Amino acid sequence: MLSRRRAARSRLFPAALAALLALGSCTGDSPSDPNDPDPTPSISITLGSSTLTLQQGDDGTVQVTVSRAGGYTGAVSVSVDGLPTGVTASSGQIASGASSTTVDIAAAAGAAVGSVSATVRATGAGVAAATAGLSIQVTAAPTGGFALSLDPSSLSLQQGASGESTMSIARTAPFTGGVTLAASAPSGITVGVPAGPVDGDEATMSVEVAASVDPGTYPVTVTGSGAGVSDDVATLQLTVTAAPAGSDFAWGFCDDDPPIWMAAQDGSGSWQRVLPSGEVFPFTVTSDRVQVAAVWDRGGEYELVVFFLARPEASLTEGVCPTYRDVNGTVVGLASGQLAFATLGYSGASAFGGVSNALAFNDVVEGAVDFFATRSSSSGGTQVVDRLFLQRDVNPAPGATVTVDFTGSDAFAPAIIDVTAANLGGDVGTPVTTFITPTMASSIFSGATSTGGPSWAVPVVPQGRLRSGDIQGVGVTALASPVAITSTRSTVRWFSTVGDQTLTLGPFLSTVTVSAAAPAPYARLRVQYDRQAEYMGHVQASFTQSNQSVILWATDDWLGGASAADLAIPDFSGVDGWMPIWGPQAGAATTWILNVNGWEGIGGIIGPDAFIDGLELRTATRIGSITP
């Protein structure tokens, strides 16, 4: 049997246990209890970044991540509240089972600039909304603009000279408009810029210095302006130097179009571009020698000619240009198969019997000129001249018709003389005859290529048809082989009294070396050779590619009697306006021809100043190829 105390304690334990069980039953209602059968659903959100900076007209994104609790698994919608004026946001949706979405936020071009605190809000069915703060900064969009620069930014010009600088216009987005240029310069300095807005990236500024401007340094300022952007300014530092005492020249081009580019080098000075003044190109020479270069555009094919001259010779293209007329012609007494070649002044035309007897003389010099013609046929590959025609002092009106009548009183049979070539050796010779009067120059006869020699019977104008000032020439060209022509030599002898003629051929040209002085930006081809006593006159070297040709033309006075000649295409890369495409291109097959001349007893530049009785003009040529 238990004691009374022990029995009392036994009765207390069930009561305490019941109280503890009751307490445990009350705490089971807490949401944190994993055994609670009904927890409260909820959501919360976090942002990939709590700040977003937008430029006017730009857009950005904000990533929103949702956390679900209390058993909630439904979709969540996302929106943005409190956006500044001009800023909009897309509505996002986080599907059931997904945890994030991206909200696009865009600032219009006119959006208010500044910073605001927006609210990203997430909502779902049956749960309280969740929010997160987003700071949005809207910045102003750039207006764009442009910057001006000059190349060159400094220029040195003599008094009375002119030059150019290229203006570059570098635009900054979003500005794409035209730029209007305005120039200012001290008195006596004239600056030319385009009159209207410039839409491209470059413009040319011309600068002309009056002869009265004192030597010194002057700023030339160009201001550019465009709609909605700030102006910009570029400055050219112009140095004016005193014009040296020297010879003034003004080159014109009577029988050709003017060149598209021209430059001159005074002695060993730097090359300077020569700009036209009206119809001529003026420049000044102070040294004993001068080099002049000009470029012509021959329908997309470029021709560069470089003249190497003594100072007095630089006047060779000056003078008054003649006026011209076009004249029609017809031939009488031309049978089928016969060829008529006629010369009116210095203009030639031909007609072939049985095809057409009409002639067309273009660019006949105004005034009275002599009118000459030959009639020939071919026999065994040789030209046979059987009739000549000559009228003196013919002065037809423009568009008039002149007649070659091989049956009339102005027609006559040619005189036949023998021409003998000394020093022909075993080479093959070809004879020619020429007739020159004070107002006319014409070929009479050209023999076949392989006519042997050393003597030939050739036609000339009879003595009775000549008058004072007339002169005729007989020439022979010699080839070592008429098949592979790499070298020729020829001599023309002039005479005023009709009779047999003997001329002396010079030697073939000595060894010639052709190389490329530089391959880029264009090939500066170079020719070197030892000069020979028979050919101490002018020198002409030509280089021909598919789209370019270059002629280097040097006089004996420029060469100065040197025993060796060395000519190269100059380096024009630093000369204003020069384009490398005008020079020979590297890697292109190039044909070169070197032609040298010599004569005695009379002066001259491109040839004797006059053709006189007994004068012999000798020429030698070498031909080759190179790929620079």
Q: Tens of pLDDT along 129-183?
A: 999 999 999 988 777 899 999 999 999 988 877 889 999 999 998 899 999 999 9
The reply to whether CATH 1.10.10.10 applies to domain 42-139 is no
- Looking at 1.10.3720.10, 1.10.260.40, 2.120.10.30, 2.60.40.10, the CATH number of the domain 145-241 comes to 2.60.40.10
Q: For residue 510, what is the DSSP state?
A: -
Q: Whose structure tokens read 């609790």?
A: 69
The residues, any chain, with a CB within 8 Å of residue 326's CB and separated by 6 or more, are: 360, 361, 362, 363, 364, 398, 399
Break the chain down into helix, strand, coil percent, rounded to 5: 5, 55, 40
Region of 505 on the Ramachandran plot (φ > 0 left; ψ -120 to 50 alpha; else beta): beta
Residues of the chain with pLDDT below 70 are 1-38, 243-245, 316-320, 381, 448-451, 483
Sequence spans of domains, the chain:
42-139, 145-241, 247-315, 331-504
Q: For residue 57, what is the DSSP state?
A: T
| pTM for this predicted structure | 0.60
The residues, any chain, with a CB within 8 Å of residue 214's CB and separated by 6 or more, are: 240
247-315: CATH topology is Immunoglobulin-like (2.60.40)
Residue 33's pLDDT is what?
A: 47
Residue 623's pLDDT is what?
A: 95
In CATH terms, are 145-241 and 247-315 the same topology? yes
Region of 126 on the Ramachandran plot (φ > 0 left; ψ -120 to 50 alpha; else beta): left
